[in-house]
Chains A and B, each alone.
Chain A
């Protein structure tokens, strides 16, 4: 029986990464390395106002005093920060007026990724900000959204067109001193998405940012800033892919969300960065800081993530529940196959009264993958009536992978109710055989069982994404059982 389990696991771990192609696009790059001159160059390239340059420089100076965090349950090889190119952009006209101004090769790339830049090609109402390497290539449906007063554009455009808004919110949830990677991002971030939903507006379509790393030896450092004003609602999606390369590439992003009274933001991620090959060579280092502030009363942030890619994932989408009666949710599926490592989870900081949080984390480990859930639930002194429910499940495929759970609880208010449940299970040989006996191949059986296990989280994704995510889960585990 044990022998059989091993065979099964050996066989299901050789899936192909579908998005590993490289596009030959004319690029503009700056020299590699990181110093104040580089930051000046980036800022100048983007024609930034003085205050933003200052923000970057302050961050850079602070970063130089910092050390890479070592507390995560990850083996991170040394990263040569001077060996990275911090700005790399497809050459295009300054601000493309129409699609005709965009390099056809670029359009082709996004078509291939299933993210057409032509608005009429979108079947379902999803507006996309397409980011390649260091810059935003195109934001669709900008005008349509503007009719409802919604601002949805690249971060660079926002700095130019809405400097006051950006300045008011930038760094208010993730300060430039926050952590090693966030501070690095604050110094060198090159683009990203900006979104503002005005009072009382329910965003009529899904907004999304698609991140593509294309160039070699570069890092991607983008920022997303999302503001939901009172009584507003938006559902935001994020997807990402990268070419297959033997070298590791760094992705250090920041997402900041601010939610006012009675507003709600739903933020979904399907992370599919190149995970490295079967032997653990190459892949993206995904070190991301995501945090939302429920500033208003009755405000709500819901994070949903499906993490299948990256060689290393270090990511804790968090909620600061400051407004009374505010709600934070975190639904996560993280897959580690081959030599992938993930240390991911969330922080729920209860500050306001009657604040509620829900954490559902589903880890899936296969091959030699190491999967850690790390979560903090913190209830401050004044957070009367705070409630948290956490559920952390781990699913193991094989006996060479690992699942770890690191829950932290800090409760300072006696009235708080905090619950934590955790389970670890294995896909049973008998489950697979049962599927086999009904005509379902072992590979499909694993897909079915894994998707069943992750269903609670997948169901939180918008429809089209859910279908994508299901396929992705299956592909990620291909070859991990047979």
Chain B
């Protein structure tokens, strides 16, 4: 589904991603962990098409297409969803209007007629239950005045509506209490299908108590320095990131 080869990217001339190679197959959940500043969010930004990160080398193939050549909105319509670490507020634009526009853009892309207002509201109602989102949130402006937890739930809510093929969740767990964490994870799990995949970016292992990954990668200083099964997350939880850092530095010395 997604094949990343030797991806290098820089922000304002400073190399952040230093050669990432990664493959995600349908049905898989990959966790990307790593200390702060290791490049996790930059990787998410590059995959979603944010321009501030400049790709200097490497390729990203998504469903057989060159992802890096696609406009951000086309990536979305082709099924890539980014759950933002810091969801953006858009005053005056209701969630209903926002999501209706998005859904109908996706439908247009697939050659489908726009949803009628009543069908759309039905869809929203269904998905609201999935993420246990307060029904009033849907009538408020996009993320405006939402608490941190509400914003993150709102991301999962949008994901549930758009039904992406590849969901990239950028530290969706940060700042969540246990209840919200459970709801967010639950939402992700219930959306899991054999033909879609997710990349879960997280600093802590606790989200992975709820979302069980197939593969865990450790990103450090712009490189994937370790890849293993879900047990790696537990090891990281116990030992922290220092042993990884030491490991990497040892290798560099050798």
Contact = CB atoms under 8 A, between A and B. Distances in A.
B90 A431 contact: yes
B87 to A, nearest CB: 7
Given A436-B72, A438-B162, A453 B98 contact: no
Interface string A440-475: 111010001101111110000000000000000000
Report which residue of A433, A437, A441, A456 has the largest number of chain B beta carbons within 10 angstroms of its beta carbon. Answer: A437
Interface string A76-108: 000000000000000000000000000000000
A4 interface: yes
B94 to A, nearest CB: 8
Interface stretch (B20-28, B99-107, B217-225, B246-254): B99-107
Contacts of A149: none
Contacts of A4: 51-52
Contact of B98 (A433, A438, A442, A455): A438
B101 A428 contact: no
Interface stretch (B57-65, B76-84, B123-131, B195-203): B76-84
Report which residue of B48, B93, B141 has the largest number of chain A beta carbons within 10 angstroms of its beta carbon. Answer: B93
Interface string A150-172: 00000000000000000000000
Contacts, number: 81
A441 B52 CA distance: 18
A434 interface: yes
A431 B88 contact: yes
A31 to B, nearest CB: 51
B73 interface: yes
Given A434-B88, A448-B98, A439 B93 contact: no
Nearest to B108: A439
Interface string B11-29: 0000000000000000000
A438 B84 contact: no
A452 B84 contact: no
B73 A434 contact: no
B90 A440 contact: no
B101 A448 contact: yes
A1 B52 contact: yes
Nearest to A428: B88
A430 interface: yes
Given A438-B162, A439-B106, A444-B105, A455 B92 contact: yes
Nearest to B50: A433
Nearest to B102: A438
B123 to A, nearest CB: 15
Given A4-B52, A448-B97, A439 B91 contact: no
A439 B105 contact: yes
A456 B91 CA distance: 11
A439 B162 contact: yes
Contact of B72 (A428, A437, A456): A437
Contacts of B121: none
Contacts of B106: 439
Interface in B102-116: 102, 105-106, 109
Contacts of A431: 88-90
B91 A453 contact: yes
A428 B102 CA distance: 19
A431 B90 CA distance: 7
A79 B106 CA distance: 51
Report which residue of B51, B73, B99, B102 has the largest number of chain A beta carbons within 10 angstroms of its beta carbon. Answer: B73
Contacts of B87: 434
B90 to A, nearest CB: 5
Interface string A394-437: 00000000000000000000000000000000001011011111
A441 B88 contact: no
B76 A452 contact: no
Contacts of A433: 50, 72, 88
15 contacts: A4-B51, A433-B88, A436-B49, A436-B71, A437-B72, A437-B73, A439-B162, A440-B101, A441-B105, A449-B90, A449-B92, A452-B92, A453-B91, A453-B92, A455-B93
